[in-house]
Every structure is written in C-alpha cells, then in structure tokens.
Amino acid sequence: MELLILLTAPYDTRIVRGATLEQRALPYVEAARTLGLSSKRIMVRHIWPNVLPLVVANTFLNFAFSLVTLSALSFLGLGVGPGTPDWGRMLAESQTLLFDNPAAALAPGGMIVITAASMNLIGDWLYERLSDRGRAR
C-alpha cells in the first residue's frame, strides 16, 4: 500500500500544483494580494477552498485505483500472504470452483467492481457538491 502511495504521489502533486497555479492568476487572488493579505492567508482562505473539490475527487479515484491494483497483485500471488482475507486472493483461490460454484468465484470480483465504481461515484458527487459551494443557485 505504501508503494502505491509513493507511486501516485508525483501525479497527485502535479494535479494540485496545476490547479493552484491556475487559481493564482485569477482576479480574486490579485485583489487579495492588492489588499496586502499574506501569501499563507491567500492560500488557506482563497485558493485552497477552490482546489479542494479536485483534491477530494482525486483521492477517491486513487482509492479505487489502489483497490483494483492491490486486488490484481493478490490475484497474481504478489499481494498479502495466505490466510489474510483479500478479494484478489479469494478470486484466485476460487478460480477452480468457477464451474462448480460460480457464486463463490464471481462474488469477490463483483465486490471489487462494485466498490471501485462506488468510490468513483462518491468522488464525482463530492466534487459536484464542493465545487458548487460558492455559486449562487
């Protein structure tokens, strides 16, 4: 898990940096700078609330990606050890039961898909909710 965090961190950093640089050039930041607000205050009070929806959506997307990746590694035998409950390992171990008991073989795969899709939908929903916060309805 730590390796996945380490591998996705540069991409996440670039996304947040790009969104922050995009906000930096907007008129409200220039107005805050003209008023003499400190850089820290501008970042915390003005830029961060506008970047937050993107960070939240990206976090949920990373969770879904990590779930699928860890399950794939466990399916291949490179994940958690034997005896540890894991959907990828359950899927690998129940492969021989596919024709005898299809529910036992397909249930872990279905749960992986349902959980990953749910995380994506929750992330999209939160992005919409958080990005509409300051707009007039």
For the chain, the domains span: 2-131
**24: closest CA among 51, 2, 52?**
51
- d(C-alpha 23, C-alpha 18), whole Å: 9
- d(C-alpha 28, C-alpha 35), whole Å: 11
User: Is 70 exceeded by the pLDDT of residue 119?
Assistant: yes
User: Is 70 exceeded by the pLDDT of residue 134?
Assistant: no
User: Is 60 exceeded by the pLDDT of residue 137?
Assistant: no
pLDDT at 96: 85
The HSE-up count of residue 107 (CA atoms within 13 Å, CB side) is 9
Mean pLDDT of the chain: 90
Burial class (CB in 10 A: 0-12, 13-18, 19+), 114: exposed
pTM of the model: 0.82
In single-letter form, the type of residue at position 30 comes to: E
- Which two structure tokens, joined as six digits, stand for 55? 């960070």
